[in-house]
Amino acid sequence: MATDDEQSFLDQYDPAAFERPSLAVDVAVLTVARGALQALLVQRTEHPYLGAWGLPGGFVSMDESLSAAARRILREKGGLDKVFIEQLYTFGDPVRDPRMRIVTVAYYALLDAGRLGHATAERRFFELRVDWEGETGGPVHPVEDGAELPLAFDHADILGMAVRRIRGKLDYTPIGFQLLPETFTLRQLQHVHETVLGRRVNKDSFRRRMLASGQLEATGEREQEVGHRPAELYQFARRSAI
């Protein structure tokens, strides 16, 4: 394929010739649990921000794609496998890290509350406080005992971006299902939407809209032992039917 010219160029090319930023990946792992939006945080074991909480992250290896790096970090630092991830935004302020120039490609991951894993002293989920409506607003901080927890680096900005993104996508794409187990009731789905959006939604139109969307498939099963009339269990409709 390559011409002689191009081959000789490639042979002579020195990849180390120029100084370059480091490249990292950070992942905002979000879930809905105990009626609130929550994010997975890990306690830093290195400088800078030693001991502070932050998003799981790490450097991109030379031979892995960005999404592969995100999945590896989720596995290594979050103990999580097979979760939904999507690229969020790339943060490249020259002074976002005091050590050196580090550009980070942020991803977000969505998880149903049944798969949180076990909390440890240095890795657990924190409730998020979003003090703005819709997609207006800036950083989002976790709270602990009612107090805002400061985060390392610009990770509160990354969480803010993640919340804006999923609020925006919730009504147009099937990401709400990623926050629920395999089967769920319409009430559970509505509850997830309300928690993510930070506002109540109309029950009747939510129900009609979801059923009309073609994204839901009735399983014929019903929820059990709920102290009232049990609701039908649905699952996310794979595109196969379309």
Task: Point out which residues bind DNA (CB under 7 A).
Answer: 185-187, 201-209, 212, 222, 224-232
- Residues 108 and 96: their CA atoms lie apart, in Å, by 19
Report, in Å, the least distance between residue 88 CB and its own copies: 10
Choose the one of DNA, its own copies, none that binds residue 10, judging by a C-beta under 5 to 8 angstroms depending on kind: its own copies
Side chain identity at 222, as an amino acid letter?
R
Report, in Å, the least distance between residue 224 CB and DNA: 7
| Residue/partner pairs of 209-217 with CB below 8 Å, 24 or more apart | 210/186, 214/241, 214/242, 215/174, 215/177, 217/241
Cβ proximity to DNA, 20 vs 208, nearer residue = 208
Report, in Å, the least distance between residue 60 CB and its own copies: 6
Task: Label residues 127-142 b or e (16+ Cβ within 10 Å = b).
Answer: bbebeeeeeeeebbbb
| Three-state DSSP state, 120 | strand
Choose the one of DNA, its own copies, none that binds residue 147, judging by a C-beta under 5 to 8 angstroms depending on kind: none
The strand pair at 22-33 and 102-111 is best described as parallel
Around Cβ 126, how many Cβ atoms within 10 Å?
A: 17
Choose the one of DNA, its own copies, none that binds residue 227, judging by a C-beta under 5 to 8 angstroms depending on kind: DNA
Cβ proximity to DNA, 194 vs 232, nearer residue = 232
Cβ proximity to DNA, 34 vs 229, nearer residue = 229
User: Of 3, 62, 38, nearest to 130 (Cα)?
Assistant: 38
Footprint on this chain of its own copies (rule: CB under 8 A):
2, 5-6, 9-10, 13, 15, 18-23, 47-48, 50, 59-60, 62-66, 87, 89-90, 92-94, 98-101, 103, 105
Choose the one of its own copies, DNA, none that binds residue 2, judging by a C-beta under 5 to 8 angstroms depending on kind: its own copies
Choose the one of its own copies, DNA, none that binds residue 212, judging by a C-beta under 5 to 8 angstroms depending on kind: DNA
- Residues 220 and 225: their CA atoms lie apart, in Å, by 16
